[in-house]
Structure 1
Amino acid sequence: MLTKEKHIQQLYLQFLCGDDDAFSPLYNALFDDLMHYGWRLSRNQEVVEDAIQDLFLKLYQKSFTLNDTSRLKPFLFRALKNTIYNQLKRNARSTELNIENLEFTLSYTIEEKLFSQDKYALTDEVKNIMDSLTERQKEIIYLRFIHDMTIDEIAQIMDINTQSARNLISRSLQKLRESSTKVSIIILI
């Protein structure tokens, strides 16, 4: 049985080879992940959905192609982030908006992934610890542990070099460990 990532790669290759019937399953395979990521960058569902539609329109028109099909998902995450940022900047009509300072909502995903088991209860303490992370720390935790992306993929999405991504993940985990032994134990599970 194919993993989700391998299935996405296979669909993308089929589409690139001219199989238009592979486009709809490719869209369906990627939509939820893109929607969840976009939702964390902007709580405006319309903006996120429009950005995803724009990405897939460009993909369908083959405005871009990737030689390394294993990097499609990180590429689309990065493109989605930039599209949302540009839309928010246009809506704000301000140049003060900085892509590095986009609010990144993490708590819902952490609740789903780490605390959905009955034996763990989400406490105010854990919420406060997660809220104490910077936006970039929340984003890197999300990409690394929720989407299981590599450091190279994260660096691509966050537009930083690989060593900076390693440093950021290390600092983020260190902050969580220092904040609470309970969170450290949960992350290590």
Structure 2
Amino acid sequence: MSKRLPTQHAQELWQEYRSGDMYALAKLMQAYYPDLFHWGMRLHPDKEFVKDSIQDTFLTLWKLQSTINEVENVRSYLMVMLKTRILRELSRKSVTHQAHLSDEYSFSVEFSPDLRMIEEEHEIYQLRKLEQMINSLPDRQKELIYLRFYQSLSFEQIAEVMQLGRQSVYNLLQKSLTSLRKNWAPGTLLLLVLPWLQG
């Protein structure tokens, strides 16, 4: 995964975009595209649909340029926008089963090999086992763990993306970690992962 755009630089680009600089918005899209694509693929498995949703999100931002507000965190704001767009589109397309914007959507977690320095076969096995365990959790718990571990969002940012209160985020994380601990023997890869989840 490429190095993420520093928060201060992102804020500067956001202000330039709000002032009418389309190039600044293009730089934000370029910087955050990998994160947004990976995030979108967790919400819906169709690559072209996710790519179109990201493009539509930035087109919408350009149209709103003159009225858009300041934001505390650009990346989490973009993730909220993309999630809302994807779920609205899925809801619009589905007549028999609507994907409501609050709770009813599927979510999957997949760790790519570049997340960790994996050299031993047993480490790959442990990572895949962890992936399976996380994917056995309820969707909201999977989403929270993904946001905390893969996207490295703060609890405040997770609360924004998931539209939850901060205390609800804490409670949901503790519930998720308790479930994972119950099904994992001490001394395994989970002990390396938990500091990332709790930090």
Confirm or deny a common fold (TM above 0.5): yes
How far is 1:6 from its partner? 2.7
Residues 29 and 160 (structure 1), Cα distance of their counterparts in 2 relative to 1, 3 Å cut: same
Tell me, which stretches of 5 or more residues in structure 2 are unaligned?
none
Q: Which residue number corresponds to residue 62 of structure 1?
A: 64
Distance 2:105 2:176 in 1: 17
Q: List aligned pairs for 1:1-189, cutoff 5 A.
A: 3-62=5-64, 65-68=68-71, 70-99=72-101, 100-109=103-112, 112-114=114-116, 116-119=117-120, 120-123=123-126, 125-180=129-184, 181=186, 182-188=188-194
Q: Alpha-carbon deviations, 1:105-130, whole Å to 9, x = none? A: 10235x5425x521422346434312
**Further displaced range: 86-95 or 150-159:** 86-95
Distance 2:19 2:48 in 1: 32
Distance 1:80 1:42 in 2: 11
Distance 2:81 2:96 in 1: 21
Q: Secondary structure at the match of 2:125?
A: coil
Asked whether the 8 Å contact 1:71–1:153 carries over to 2, the reply is yes
How far is 1:167 from its partner? 0.7
Aligned-pair identity (%): 29
Q: Secondary structure at the match of 1:107?
A: coil
Residues 27 and 96 (structure 1), Cα distance of their counterparts in 2 relative to 1, 3 Å cut: closer
Residues 118 and 145 (structure 1), Cα distance of their counterparts in 2 relative to 1, 3 Å cut: same
Asked whether the 8 Å contact 1:47–1:87 carries over to 2, the reply is no
Distance 2:44 2:55 in 1: 15
Asked whether the 8 Å contact 1:40–1:106 carries over to 2, the reply is yes
Task: Compute the RMSD of aligned alpha carbons.
Answer: 2.2
Q: Could you tell me the TM-score, scaled by structure 1's length?
A: 0.85
Flag the structure with higher helix content: 1
Tell me, which stretches of 5 or more residues in structure 1 are unaligned?
none
Asked whether the 8 Å contact 2:111–2:131 carries over to 1, the reply is no
Residues 26 and 103 (structure 1), Cα distance of their counterparts in 2 relative to 1, 3 Å cut: same
Distance 2:69 2:170 in 1: 25
